[in-house]
Amino acid sequence: MPWITCKDLQKEYRSGTQSQMALNHVDFSLEQGEYVAIVGKSGSGKSTLMNMLGLIDTPTGGSIIWNGEQVLRYPERKKTQLRNQMIGYVFQAFYLEPSYTVYQNIEIPLLIAGYGTAERRSRILSALEEVGLSGKVRQRADSLSGGEKQRISIARCILKDAPIVILDEATASVDTDNESYIQEAINELVKGKTLLVIAHRLNTIRQADQILVISDGRISEQGTHDELMAKAGIYQDFVNIRKKASGWSLA
């Protein structure tokens, strides 16, 4: 039996008399430790699927089964507990308290979790070192670049050490300088984890155990990079466009 299974997952959005299926009969499963990349055009349903998997939002139909249990039937409190214990999120839009320092922003969840001062300090400093932000401990959050903010959300996730990591790979506001730091920090974060990524970069995508190509709320293609490249389909087009854009040889 797979670790997590989605069966017939649907999400319908209604506005007035109009309704739209952002997810339309999605089925798939994943194993513990697997790396799943979700790719597709903007508006195809990637974030919606991730929000369902991450128990942030509830589908309008279908089921999500973890270890044989129907988690959508859990009471809200138990769902929150599962989310807190099992899932670390790194999202693009991540809230930082603007007037707090980098250190204080990372300290908040540890304070809530009841860690003592000395342990908090050593854990925070080591997480900041892992994401290359040791030099910015006392800097205010509102003075950080987009990439630095993202590194803080990675540091928080490293501290949380949850078995599943959900990552929305940033496309905007990350300069090249930040990008290598972010990549290193992510590599540190995901060691030994089950990883679900909304992926945009070819290098990230090609290493996935399973790639889900989403179009119009459906899984239109599914497989590894090599399997999908062997088909003349959406994924192959997507890769070729990216290779052209980055000046890679197509040979």
What residues make contact with ligand ADP under the rule CB under 6 A? Answer: 13, 22, 40, 42-48
Of the candidates 161, 100, 101, the residue with the CA atom closest to the CA atom of residue 130? 161
Which residue lies nearer to ligand ADP by CB, 45 or 59? 45
* 40 vs 107 by CB, closer to ligand ADP: 40
Q: CB nearer to ligand ADP: give 46 or 193.
A: 46
Q: How many of the other CB atoms lie within 10 Å of CB of 77?
A: 8
* Angle, CA of 93, 225 and 239, to the nearest 5°: 70
Residue type, 218: R
Q: Are 115 and 160 in contact (CB under 8 A)?
A: no
The C-alpha atoms of residue 160 and residue 168 are separated, in whole angstroms, by: 17
Q: How far is the CB of 100 from ligand ADP (least distance, A)?
A: 29
Contact 163, 190 (CB under 8 A): no
CB of 10 to ligand ADP, least distance (A): 12
Specify whether the CB–CB gap between 151 and 105 falls below 8 A.
no
Round to whole Å and give the CA distance between 133 and 122: 14
Report the distance separating Cα 111 and Cα 233, nearest Å: 49
Residue whose CB is less far from ligand ADP, 47 or 204:
47
CA distance 248 to 244: 6
- Count how many Cα atoms sit within 13 Å of the Cα of residue 29 in the half-sphere of its side chain: 12
CB of 117 to ligand ADP, least distance (A): 40
> Whole-number minimum distance, CB 84 to ligand ADP, in Å?
23
- Chain position carrying tokens 């119009």: 216
Q: Of 13 and 95, which CB lies nearer to ligand ADP in the complex structure?
A: 13
Taking the complex as a whole, how short is the minimal distance between the CB of residue 224 and ligand ADP, in angstroms? 21
Q: Give min distance, CB of 13 to ligand ADP, in A.
A: 3
Least CB distance from residue 101 to ligand ADP, whole Å? 32
* CA-wise closest residue to 161 among 100, 115, 101, 201: 115
Nearer to ligand ADP, 46 or 160 (CB): 46
